[in-house]
Every structure is written in C-alpha cells, then in structure tokens.
Amino acid sequence: MACGSMGFGSPCTLQMPMASSLRSPRSAYAAASIPMPPLNPRDPFLSKLASAAATAPDPLPLRQTSTDSDTPPYLDLFDNPKLMATPAQVERTVTYNEHRPRKPPPDLPSLLLHGRIVYIGMPLVPAVTELVIAELLYLQWMDPNQPIYLYINSTGTTRDDGETVGMESEGFAIYDAMMQLKNEIQTVAVGAAIGQACLLLAAGKKGRRFMMPHAKAMIQQPRVPSSGLMPASDVLIRANEVIKNRDTLVKLISRHTGNSTETVAKVMRRPFYMDSMRAQEFGVIDKILWRGQEKIMADAASPEEWDRKAGIKIVDGL
C-alpha cells in the first residue's frame, strides 16, 4: 500500500489488485462520511457558528495514526491545532445574554437598605451593632426627611436562656444613634424583642411602634458576664457596672413606656414576658400589626348598638 501522506478525503491507490471487500478498516473509515448532528434552525448562535466553520480557510487536518488493525481508528489533532471556528469568533445574540446579570447581585441587607429597612435578626454583638449603626447613618445621609423602618427579632445582649453574648454598651450604642438621627424611626417587632432589643422597640417614634400578633417582648435585668479566674476586686467592679447598666435601662424604658421607674424596676426583678396585647398595655408598642385589623375594628358596632339590636333597654341607676 502506497498512500504517502494521506489527507482528509485524499484517495489511496493500491499497488496490487484487491477486492474492495478486502480493504483495511482504516481506509474504509477514511472513505466514509462522518455523520453530523442535525442543526436547530431556530438557534441563531449555532447557525452563525456553522456558517463560520463552513467558510473557514483552513480545514481541520487529520493525523495519520498507526495502521495496526487492532487499533480502532480515531481523529486526532496536531501538536499546534488551529480550530475552524471558536465561540469568540461568532457574535452572540441577545437570546443568550438578555437574562445574564451585568454585575453580581447585591446581598440581602443591601436590598432591604434600598427600601430604608434595617433588620436586626441576631443578638446584639459588636458586628451587629457596627452594621446597624452604619446603616442608620447611611440612610440619614441619603435622605434625612424620610422615615427609617427598624425590624427587630433579637434577644438583646443575652440569649433567651440568659447566657451573656454581648456587652450592654452594644444596645446603648444603637439607642444613642437612634436618638441622634434626624429621621423618624418606626420600629416593628417580629419574633422576639428581649432585653436591650425591647428598649430599641420602645424607642421608636411614638404612634409608630408596631408588633406582630404572635411576637413577644421581654425586659430583664442585665447579667454579669462570666468572671472566670478574675480576682474578687475585679468581680466587684463588674458587678457595680452591671448595676449601673440596670438603672440606666430602667430609666430609659420608663421614659419611652410612660411607666414610673418603680413600676419598671419591680417588673424587671424577674424576666417579664409580654405578648403583643400586654406590650401594648405596658406602653412598649402603640399598635399590633394584624392585617385587616383597622377595617374589622371600624366595622365593629359600639356596645350601645349591640344592646339596641339585642332589645336590651338601659335602665337608669343600673
């Protein structure tokens, strides 16, 4: 067989007469046409890619491999191949790019911040305090006249079981930032507002402090952090600081709820839990966010109307 350097589609002549049925599998594979998968005519990108490949100046050559009949025939590339067409050579259409984001999507706090919503969903640790104060200051810089919506679901500086996770100064820092802002701050309790978080809930704009129907609020005394192997004098210093923080918390809650300091100090001797109705009575919130509540209350008849419809006559002196 004298095939020389066989290229794609080049005929291979035989030196001796031989029946076509005795040709080698390699020659039979080279002579056969390679089936191509059907092309989707509705796909503009594949159509352009096929057009670019058909008009390419240099066809993709085949590399002659071993003529051993035991080796299956295969296509291979040279050491430095030149592809017929690459996706970079074909202009992609809007079909593939119309839903592709132009830049990475923002994180969830940024999306809420765009709606002037600040969400406290963790205990008041330094990282949470830093983020909340930064968001409050940013919203005031953006527009000092628009209200800020503060959603609270936090156990304050302690967990619900009483374990201390942050210093009391974390809650006081957010409170001072709220008091210094020019914006009206509307607070909403979702889930829980415990300890310092309850103070933040009550510190909202009067008349614009809300609570979800099944949320809870709780006020309690600050807890002494773990003393570990501290000297007794240091433990006493920390205890005195906790007492000062308790007195400050009592005074601030009394200011925003309208109760006396003696009343607040009395209920804070033990954990004082409040549901939405009790929190409204205590002065922590102003309204309960119950969908349709305003319409239901507006449609409700007065007691006198109920008596009149029931046929009850009011007798003087009773």
What three-state secondary structure class fits 305?
A: helix
What's the mean pLDDT in 268-294? 87
Q: In this predicted model, which residue has the larger pLDDT, 203 or 232? A: 203
CB neighbour list of residue 249: distance below 8 Å, 6 or more residues apart: 168, 196, 199, 219, 222, 268
Which amino acid does the sequence have at 118? V
Q: What percent of the chain has pLDDT over 90?
A: 42
Query: What is the CB neighbour count within 10 angstroms for residue 253?
Result: 24
For 32-88, the pLDDT digits (tens) are 555 555 666 677 766 777 777 677 655 544 444 445 544 444 444 444 444 444 444
User: What's the Rg (C-alpha) of the chain?
Assistant: 39
CB neighbour list of residue 11: distance below 8 Å, 6 or more residues apart: none
**How does DSSP assign 62-94, residue by residue?**
-------TTSPP-----SS---S--GGGSPPPH
Most confident of 62-71, 75-84, 235-244, 272-281: 272-281
Residue 71 vs residues 4, 24, 67: alpha-carbon distances, Å: 20, 12, 8
Closest by CA position to 290, among listed 186, 188, 159: 188
CATH homologous superfamily of 109-292 equals 2-enoyl-CoA Hydratase; Chain A, domain 1 (3.90.226.10)
What three-state secondary structure class fits 136?
A: helix
pLDDT > 80? residue 281: yes
The reported pLDDT for the residue numbered 172 is 94
- Asked if residues 202 and 256 have their Cβ atoms less than 8 Å apart, the reply is yes
The reported pLDDT for the residue numbered 20 is 44
Which amino acid does the sequence have at 121? G
Residue 148 vs residues 46, 174, 209, 307: alpha-carbon distances, Å: 51, 14, 12, 44
Q: What is the DSSP letter of 314?
A: P
Any alpha helices (H) in 77-162, and if so which ranges? Answer: 94-97, 108-114, 126-142
Closest by CA position to 227, among listed 211, 244, 239: 239
Q: In this predicted model, which residue has the larger pLDDT, 233 or 38? A: 233
- Asked if residues 123 and 157 have their Cβ atoms less than 8 Å apart, the reply is yes
Region of poorest pLDDT, from 27-36, 152-161, 208-217 = 27-36
Q: Is the dihedral of CA 152, 153, 157, 161 positive or negative?
A: positive
- Asked if residues 157 and 195 have their Cβ atoms less than 8 Å apart, the reply is yes
Domain with CATH 3.90.226.10 in the chain: 109-292
Q: Residue 238: is it exposed, middle or buried by C-beta count within 10 angstroms (0-12/13-18/19+)?
A: middle
The reported pLDDT for the residue numbered 110 is 81
What three-state secondary structure class fits 206?
A: coil
Residue 82 vs residues 9, 17, 185: alpha-carbon distances, Å: 19, 38, 65
Closest by CA position to 272, among listed 316, 209, 232, 217: 217
